[in-house]
Structures are given as C-alpha cells and as structure tokens.
Amino acid sequence: MSQLPPLFILVALLVAPGCSVYHPSRLSGVPRRSLAHPTVSPSGKKVAFGLFSFDGNIVHTSLQIMSLASGDVENTGAELSARLFPITWHPTEQTLVFISAAHANFHGLERMDVRDFKTVQISDGTCWSPHYSRDGQSLGFIKDDDLIIENTATGKEKTVAEAGNHRTWSWDSEGESVFYIQDDRVFRHGLDEDEGKMIVDQRGQDESQRHIGHLTLSPDGSMLGFQRDKAFHVVKLDTLTIRRLFECDHYCLKFDWTNSGIVYLDQSDGDRNRQARLMVFDPIKMTAREVATGQFSFPHWVSASDVLARVGSSEFWLYNVPTAKGTCIFRATLEDEEEG
C-alpha cells in the first residue's frame, strides 16, 4: 500500500570527490531508501526519478527532479508508481507524464506542469509505459490491455490496438505510427489505419528462449531494435530484413539509442542478476565497448559522451564514455546512516 510521501528536506553534504549525499528528515523505522526510474529530459539538463522509502509493508514514494548542472533536487510532492518506465518528458520540458501511486488502484496516469508541480489526471485506469512522440503532439500509453493515443492539443483519445506486452512499445520518428508486440510478433500501426502490419515474426522459435522485448527506435528512424533471448537485433524498416547486432544478458535490460551508440547492460562473470557491465555498442563500426563494471541499472545517455546509471539501489553515477571515468552525482540516504 502506498501512502502520501513524507516531507523531504534535501541537504547536500560533500563526502567524496564529485559525490553529494542527500538525506531527508528522519523517518522512524524505515530500513532503506531506493532510487528508481531515472528519466533524462530531452535536453539532457534534468532527470526525473522516483525516491522510495520502505517501512515494513508500506512504500513511501515521491517524484523528484534533479538539475544535472547544479545537482539541486526538488521534491514535486507527487507519488510515483513503482512500475517500470513510468515517466515521459514532453519535448519542451515544461510538462511530464507519469504513472501515479496516489489513486485507488495506484496506476493512474497524470500530467505535471514542471514549473509549479501542479498535476491533472489523464486516466484512472491501470496504465503502463507512457511515451510522448518526438514532436510532443501525441501521447501514447497502455491502459489495461489497449494502446491509447492522445492528441495533446485536443485531449481526444484513440484506441489503436491491443498490446500484448505492456512494458514496451515505441513511436516512429514522425509520430505517425507505433510499434507494439503481440505473441512474439512486432506490428507497425499507422494512427490513421484500422489495423497494424506485422514486421517481425518470431513465433515457432525455440520455446526455451525468452520472448521479444525492449523495442528501441534508431535515431534516424530507419531501424527498430528489439531484444530476444540473449541478443539485440534490428529490423530495417524499409526492407524488413533482420540482423543480430550483439549479445546481451542481464535482468535489468534497457537500451538507449542515440547518435553516440546504444548504451545497455550485459552480465558480468556469469551473474545476470547483480553484477553488470555498462556497455556501449557502435552500430557503424559494429563494436562494443565496456565502460565499467558494477551493480548497474537504468542506463541513459545525457550527452554525446556521458551516460547516467543507477549504481546499487541508492546512487546515481555519471560516466564519461571516452575516458571510462565515473563520478557519483547523487546519493539518497537516511540521517541515521550519516550519523553512524
């Protein structure tokens, strides 16, 4: 059960080169705090994330926004769902949409004005995976089993299709069609079309393999990437030819594809549950580079050369890919831990 988040007093104390500790007012009986779902804004200047406090069976949640330039963190006062990938930024960065934990079913969708943190409810259904189109003119999300597209100017909604995988779907580069998964098949569905067209069919493969997941569009919009079993593949959207790019196997798979390459996680020393290698794949040179090894999750590009990732459960680190050097930029802890 989720409760209203406590009032967080964020204080920065320098404890290591480049690493600041932020701790809230004391919470009696809270054994640990966790950071989750960092979502970098389109400009790379801000990151929205969830700050979770665990108190027995109760989870206190809050949506935070951090400036990557100053390190300043603001508690928006909103409650964030613990579901995967619950945040999406509008291209103007004046609004963001998130899955809220404040409603009766804990999975309603809200839109926030980042300038004053005021929110309005978009949907009170069970929602998943909100994504703005690249131009910001449309918002897509999954409600129950349906992929819904909202015109952000008019607020009018359209049900596009039933999505078989709630956690992953993707826009095309123009915001005119969407990609989604049904039964190990990938479909492309134009917003003005009555039904989608199948572009990938992986049915009939080895049943021991994992299913298709993690749809990721290339920066130029010419290829759609997806993960199946222990490898990342791409399908060329003009010819529909499929190519295997690289192997990857980790419990916290996520791919962020920009002009700088594809950042992702791979297992380390056969441990796909904890230790991970932070990797960058160059699709032009067809080479993969290891940046660092650690307990990573949620990797994101923040610039042409820097990657943000969570380390452990309570730290954000910024890694410079060319130098492979990392700096802790945020740590969430309790006053008790500081005093001890």
pLDDT tens-digit readout, 25-38: 333 343 468 898 99
What is residue 340's predicted lDDT score, i.e. its pLDDT?
37
Q: Take residue 262 and report the two structure tokens written for it.
A: 């594809």
At residue 334 the predicted structure's pLDDT band, cuts being 50, 70 and 90, is: low
Taking the C-alpha atoms of residue 145 and residue 143, their distance in angstroms, rounded to an integer, is 6
Who has greater pLDDT, 247 or 29? 247
Q: What is the 3-state secondary structure (H, E, C) of the chain?
A: CEECCCCCCCEEEEEECCEEEEECCCCCCCCEEEEEEEEECCCCCEEEEEEEEEECCEEEEEEEEEECCCCCEEECCCCECCCCCCEEECCCCCEEEEEECCCCCCCEEEEEECCCCEEEEEECCCEEEEEECCCCCEEEEEECCEEEEEECCCCCEEEEEECCCCCCCEECCCCCEEEEEECCEEEEEECCCCCCEEEEECCCCCCCCCCCEEEEECCCCCEEEEEECCEEEEEECCCCCEEEEEECCCCCCCCEEECCEEEEEEEECCEEEEEEEEEEEECCCCEEEEEEEECEEEEEECCCCEEEEEECCCEEEEEECCCCEEEEEEEECCHHHHHC
- Percentage, residues of the chain above pLDDT 90: 61
pLDDT of 3 > 60? The answer is: no
At residue 83 the predicted structure's pLDDT band, cuts being 50, 70 and 90, is: confident
CB distance 42 to 96 below 8 Å: no
Taking the C-alpha atoms of residue 319 and residue 301, their distance in angstroms, rounded to an integer, is 10
Q: Report CA 86 to chain centroid distance, whole Å.
A: 7
Taking the C-alpha atoms of residue 46 and residue 292, their distance in angstroms, rounded to an integer, is 23
Alpha-carbon dihedral 93, 73, 130, 246, rounded to 10 degrees: 100
Average pLDDT over the chain, rounded to whole? Answer: 84
Q: Take residue 119 and report the two structure tokens written for it.
A: 């929110």
What is residue 8's predicted lDDT score, i.e. its pLDDT?
32
At residue 53 the predicted structure's pLDDT band, cuts being 50, 70 and 90, is: confident
The phi, psi pair for 73, rounded to 5°, reads -125, 135
Query: pLDDT by residue (tens digit) across 206-243?
Result: 655 668 889 999 999 999 999 988 899 999 999 999 99
The β-bridge relationship of strands 2-3 and 58-67 is parallel
pLDDT of 99 > 60? The answer is: yes
Query: pLDDT by residue (tens digit) across 148-186?
Result: 999 999 999 999 988 777 778 999 999 999 999 988 899
**Which amino acid is residue 252, in one-letter code?**
C
**Closest by CA position to 8, among listed 29, 37, 33:** 33
Q: Tokens 């969830």, residue?
A: 50
